[in-house]
Chains A and B, each alone.
Chain A
Amino acid sequence: MPQAGRFTHENGGPQGGIEHAPGPARLRHRHLLAIEDLSRAEAEALIGRARFFFPYVEGRVKKGDMLRGRTLINLFFENSTRTQSSFELAGKRMGADVVNMSVNPSSVAQGETLMDTAATLNAMAPDLLVVRHGSSGAAHLLARKVDCSVINAGDGTHEHPTQALLDALTIREALGRVEGLTVAICGDVLHSRVARSNVALLTLLGARVRLVAPPTLLPAGVRHWGADVFTDMKTGLVGADVVMMLRIQLERMQGGFVPSQREYFWHYGLDAEKLALTGRPSLVMHPGPMNRGVEIDSAVADDRAVSLIEKQVRMGVALRMAVLEALAAHGSNEGPAP
């Protein structure tokens, strides 16, 4: 059984062997909107660089100054305590000024459009803009309008690239590699931005990806995604090194996509019995927040021997620090030309 999520610092961190430490990742693009913006080398550089920030996450190094004088705006049109605080902590630990803006969907209803919000924010000349929005493509729209780097923290059912990066980091820390592993992503693939980003990234990094879901929760054309598709979880899990569960929203389970909660859990929920079907010491992940007893049984979620769920959260801050650092290297925002 591999040690799940153990932080190691042989090559990284301020106290580590500096000569082998990977430097800040360099990215060709100014924004991080989707995994397809990244080459394999860039994705690996971000994941590799995240280690450098582990001491910050663990509190052994209190605060850096890589982003001193830079402004990071967290613009969240959907509630997300964990992603928002993860970016906030990442920014603050690097010395950035962090502004959190939670936009109540009702003010959108009052007529202020996303473009209006973008224009307002742009006038404040931030350097980094982290955005979460309920509509696919919202981050793309903002990126066309503002002068700073935009990081997509989840847009509709499209992508959530930093989640996929932190998941890959978590897997690599736990199992030493991503390439060649079999990762089964299970649940509501149709509505999941986490699934889309993870399929793109894990495939890019050389993992074998499986998607396991009832047919009603699989998107059209999913068979062209480069993943193996299963509608039977029992066969889909066989041989999986990692089982990644997706959150299913409860309203999907009132006869719309699946008949009932109990039927869903019976066929697609992860419990110890189903996990044993992998036939190997598999690890379990979940992007959170979890619906316990719906897609995942508490006994599995809380089993520290197999569950990486808590580790994912900690990795998230380090990974996001690496992303912020890389994008900030594209220069500070001098504001709109006079």
Chain B
Amino acid sequence: MTRAMTRLLIAGARVLDPATRADRVADVAVEGGLIAKIGPSLKAGAETTVIDGAGLALIPGLIDMRVSVGEPGAEHRETLKSAGRAAAAGGVTTMVVMPDTNPVIDDVSLVDFIKRRGAERAGVHVLPAAAMTKKLDGLMMTEMGLLTEAGAVLFSNGHAPVVDSRVLRRALSYASAFGALVAHRPEDPHLAKGGVMHEGELGARLGLPGIPAAAERIFAERDAALAELTGGRLLLDMISAAATLGPIRRAKAAGVALHASVSVHHLTLNELEVTDYRTFAKLSPPLRSEDDRRALVAALADGAIDVIVSGHDPRPPEEKRLPFDEAAFGASALETLLPAALSLHHNGEADLMDVLAALTCRPAALLKLPHGRIAEGAPADLVLVDLDAPFQFAADTMKSKCRNTPYDGRLMQGRVQRTLVSGVTVFDAAA
């Protein structure tokens, strides 16, 4: 790519590197797609483009470990290209795309397809997650070794939990030979069956069938035991309940290679969002109680939760403008990930560096990527963001093909001004 030759100088921004917790005003020189130098008053060469960063924060590009795209099979929901545009606008420079497409990404050629299409069209890094089991059937393990070599960065069963404990045991065990990461969404499908929201008093009043927090906890306990048994690397993906934190903390204390992610929605919203049957707040796992939300925020600070994901799940109006129990789960979230997560900092609920780490260097560490940090020699995936200026988020400005967001009309802080991927500007708010 020609972008390798681009020379840039981002001058005078507040440089925040969550990996080292460094926070200082500095210039950042970019060359060949990498961060060449960081320091005060760097000189711009003859062919260097200077970007004024004064008054803005420079953070590593976000790494979103859970993005659903409709390509292949449901391009009306989202393509890699439209998701890439949304990601760039949201400061996400790397997205891990889920395998629950049509066809399911369970084969080397399909991993190759995602990588190729992503590189051609998305503008941001696209990393394929491959299916843990063939066609996500929860029964037959995929060719994890070959898929890893083809470029699959993790193995997920999408929203379909692996019910057969023996299958999950073998997948974790087999994946450990390649050091591969297995991501599993813990939810007992029998307990959750028919549920459309958090099980509790509000759901009972609304007459909506609930998904008890125990459905998540039960599988989290089981999955943690299997991770311990096998030594495999396991990510408990998108947890939602306070009760799930117990098994996570116990496993981590025992040295099990267990990690956890949470969607930004579950850190910033609670079940009250579905009052009046608002289907844009119908998520899987469901938004839970305020007590659950607070526990998840606390777990982010103490390290029980490793990463924040968007859980991006674009749904067109015909899947959302329905009675609540018939409507699809999911929210379009790439563009709200950063400002929603930053609300935790602005509200005084979480430390700024903890929030940023969960969006950048911690997912990079799980994925073994050199990205997610601002250091000399690291990839120049960078985001200039106005951390403080408030703005009203408007769904009709979204770049995603679907605008099913629960944040429409919210006052937020943390607007992305510019996004660079390998030193190339892929989003510029002023443009």
Contacts and interface: CB of A to CB of B under 8 A. Distances in A.
A7 to B, nearest CB: 33
B381 to A, nearest CB: 41
A135 B325 contact: yes
Interface in B193-212: 199-210, 212
A308 interface: no
Interface string B197-234: 00111111111111010000000000000000000000
A136 B207 CA distance: 6
Given A136-B324, A137-B277, A220 B207 contact: no
21 contacts: A113-B321, A113-B322, A135-B324, A136-B206, A136-B207, A136-B208, A136-B324, A137-B207, A137-B208, A137-B276, A137-B277, A138-B323, A140-B276, A141-B321, A155-B207, A158-B207, A193-B207, A219-B203, A220-B212, A221-B202, A222-B204
A196 interface: yes
A288 B201 CA distance: 27
Interface in B253-310: 276-277
Given A113-B318, A141-B277, A220-B210, A156 B204 contact: no
A114 B325 contact: no
Interface in A101-159: 113-115, 133, 135-138, 140-141, 155-159
Contacts of B277: 136-137, 140-141
Contacts of A224: 201
Interface in B397-429: none
Given A136-B277, A137-B208, A220 B324 contact: no
A169 B417 CA distance: 62
A220 B201 contact: yes
Contacts of B326: 135
Contacts of A222: 201, 204
A114 B320 CA distance: 12
Contact of A156 (B200, B276, B321, B325): B325
Interface residues of A, number: 23
B207 A157 contact: yes
A129 to B, nearest CB: 16
Nearest to A133: B323
B201 A135 contact: no
Nearest to A77: B323
A219 B204 contact: yes
Interface string A207-224: 000000000000111101
A214 B49 CA distance: 73
A249 B206 CA distance: 20
Given A115-B322, A220-B199, 13 more contacts: A113-B322, A136-B206, A136-B207, A137-B207, A137-B323, A156-B208, A157-B207, A196-B205, A220-B200, A220-B201, A221-B202, A221-B203, A221-B204
A212 B102 CA distance: 48
A222 to B, nearest CB: 6
Contacts of B321: 113, 115, 141
Which residue, of B203, B207, B212, B324, has the highest number of chain A Cβ atoms within 10 A?
Answer: B207
Contacts of A133: 323
**Which A-B residue pairs are the 5 nearest by beta carbons?**
A221-B201, A158-B207, A137-B277, A135-B323, A219-B204
Contacts of A113: 318, 321-322
B277 to A, nearest CB: 3
Given A113-B322, A135-B323, A135-B325, A156 B207 contact: yes
A137 B205 CA distance: 11
Given A141-B277, A220-B210, A220-B212, A136 B204 contact: no
Contacts of A115: 321-322
Contacts of B203: 219-221
A137 B276 CA distance: 7
Nearest to B274: A137
Contacts of A156: 207-208, 323, 325
Contacts of A159: 207
Nearest to A159: B207
Contacts of B201: 220-222, 224-225
A220 B213 CA distance: 12
B286 to A, nearest CB: 13
A244 B333 CA distance: 47
A250 B354 CA distance: 54
Contact of B323 (A141, A157, A193, A219): A141
A20 B202 CA distance: 42
A85 B207 CA distance: 25
Nearest to B210: A220
Q: Which of B201, B202, B206, B209: most chain A CB closer than 10 A?
A: B206
Interface string B22-46: 0000000000000000000000000
A157 B195 CA distance: 13
Contacts of B200: 220-221
Nearest to B276: A140
Contacts of B318: 113
Nearest to A36: B205
Contacts of A136: 206-208, 277, 323-325
Contacts of A158: 206-208
A266 B188 CA distance: 33
Contacts of A157: 207-209
Contacts of B325: 135-137, 156
A196 B207 CA distance: 8
Nearest to A218: B204
